[in-house]
Amino acid sequence: MPKQPDKVLRNRDDVRVAKAHEDGRKRQWRINVPGLYLIVLANGRGTYVHEYRVNEGTKRIKRKTTLGQRSRLAEELDDIKREADKLNSQVSGRRDPVGEAKRKASTITFKELADLRFDNDDSLTDETRDGYRRAFEKDVYPTMGHLHADEVTREHVMRMRKPISERHALSLADRVVRAIGGLYKWGRKHGHVTANPTEKIDPLSSTVPREVVLTDDDVRNVWRIASSDHVTVPLALAMKIALLTGMRRGEVLRTRIAQVDFENGVLRLEGAKLRKGKLVGGDTKNRKSHVVPLSHQVAALFREAIELANEKADGLADGADIVHVFPARVAGSKFAHIDPHSASKALLRNRDRFGIEEATMHDFRRTVATWLGEDEDFLVVKRVLGHVSGDVTERHYLHSSKMNAVRAALQRWADHVERVVDGRIDGAGKVVALVASR
């Protein structure tokens, strides 16, 4: 590795095209911030590294820390430079940030690091935090929880994920590794660790995006599952609402009664709030507010669900109140609402029984988007799904909700589903006889 790289990388374009040596040896490129380098391997993987020297006793030693990985467009470069500048400022003040982090990390275990993040990282949604906790408790803590956080290596992570992959759960194994990677990224940012043991671990599962779209027969059979005795009534209502709106399972099951506005025919999902410089809360995955127009069928389903919730409230002690449309079935549950995983498990348990080869709750969203995309404007479909655009103009300047068009689109989809399952709406506005199998 040359000590003096022959070119200084100054901008994203330079970083984006930087390659390894022609003979396949890794190459170290200098970036125009003191001590900051980009190391590029033959396979194109690029890693940002910061180096500095510090006195330790009578010796002058070199410290090195990894700051992150190069993306395809090198969009992270400005953040990497700022982090390197921060390290240089600390070194100029006679500090040893890497040494300090190592000493700090030596006193914290992997489990303690995870608990710190779960308790303090407001960027995690409740569903994500709970999913990470479950995965760590089942597959990670038994082998790695007791290890010092900075002593966890790539080999530890590889050994941890092997039993998961042997359960034929390759995607789960990859998600657990990504969760560990996110934990170490957070830990390094807050000075708890100095390295990320997942950075050179390749995924086990296919990176091809899932493309399952439900056929009309699948839609009919999903409705049959939700109308059968194999699924509880609240879960059945939630599954139907997810199918008719394209909402995520967690968004449906976390819905609070106060968010359902029958007078205006909408469901209002709140975005995250900025408190003391941090984003807190938020009902959606992207933490942006989202207004979902209610078709006649969905409004009827919500009314039925709220009636059931109120009946549950009548059986509680005086003063108790029901907040969620789908309250937890058992007092003292981890969530005040039904666990989102319950809906996915109910669908998975019953797919074979009702002749569905492959379908997940998230496939409902893709199905709604695909069907609407045949005739609707692309922006309308995005508004239905609550997606945030990456386009600068749309993200910062175009705030039209296209509410009327979205309402019409969702009503059209709900009418189509009703025809598919050969159902009807009675005079009271309740959904009835939609291929019920009870």
pLDDT digits (tens, 9 = 90+) for 77-87: 999 999 999 99
Helix (H, G, I), strand (E, B) or coil at 378: helix
pLDDT of residue 423: 52
- Does any domain span residue 101? no
* Structural domain span for residue 19: 8-95
Least confident of 137-146, 201-210, 253-262: 201-210
pLDDT of residue 274: 67
Answer yes or no: do 32 and 78 share one domain.
yes
Q: Tell whether pTM > 0.75.
A: no
pLDDT of residue 164: 92
Q: Given pLDDT bands bounded at 50, 70 and 90, which one contains residue 436?
A: very low
Q: How many structural domains are present in the chain? A: 3
Sign of CA dihedral 236, 349, 249, 413: negative
Answer with the one of 47, 67, 95 that is the final residue of a domain.
95
How many CB atoms are closer than 10 A to CB 402?
Answer: 16
Instruction: Decide if pLDDT at 101 tops 80.
Output: no
- Does any domain span residue 209? no
Q: Given pLDDT bands bounded at 50, 70 and 90, which one contains residue 319?
A: very low
Answer yes or no: do 126 and 90 share one domain.
no
* Bigger pLDDT: 221 vs 101: 221
Answer yes or no: do 418 and 335 share one domain.
yes
The CATH number covering residue 403 comes to 1.10.443.10
**CA–CA–CA angle 219, 223, 303 (5° rounding):** 125
* Bigger pLDDT: 114 vs 272: 114
- How far, in Å, CA of 150 to CA of 100, rounded? 12
- Does any domain span residue 51? yes
Of the candidates 16, 25, 18, the residue with the CA atom closest to the CA atom of residue 7: 18
- How far, in Å, CA of 434 to CA of 348, rounded? 21
Answer yes or no: do 263 and 360 share one domain.
yes
Instruction: Decide if pLDDT at 437 tops 50.
Output: no
* Bigger pLDDT: 141 vs 212: 141
The CATH number covering residue 135 comes to 1.10.150
Helix (H, G, I), strand (E, B) or coil at 292: strand
pLDDT of residue 7: 79
* Bigger pLDDT: 362 vs 126: 362
Answer with the one of 173, 189, 205 that is the final residue of a domain.
189
Q: Given pLDDT bands bounded at 50, 70 and 90, which one contains residue 105?
A: low
End-to-end CA distance of the chain: 71
**Tell me: the pLDDT tens digits for 139-196?**
999 999 999 998 899 999 999 999 999 987 888 899 999 999 999 999 988 888 888 9
Do residues 325 and 306 lie in contact, with contact meaning Cβ atoms separated by under 8 Å? yes
Instruction: Decide if pLDDT at 309 tops 70.
Output: yes
**Tell me: the pLDDT tens digits for 370-407?**
999 998 888 899 999 888 665 544 454 444 568 899 99
pLDDT of residue 98: 86
Q: Are strands 59-69 and 46-56 parallel, antiparallel or unpaired?
A: antiparallel
The CATH number covering residue 45 comes to 3.30.160.390
**Tell me: the pLDDT tens digits for 266-300?**
999 887 776 666 666 777 777 788 899 999 999 99
- How far, in Å, CA of 426 to CA of 419, rounded? 14
Report the percent of the chain where pLDDT is more than 90: 51
Least confident of 57-66, 110-119, 250-259, 283-292: 283-292
pLDDT of residue 35: 94
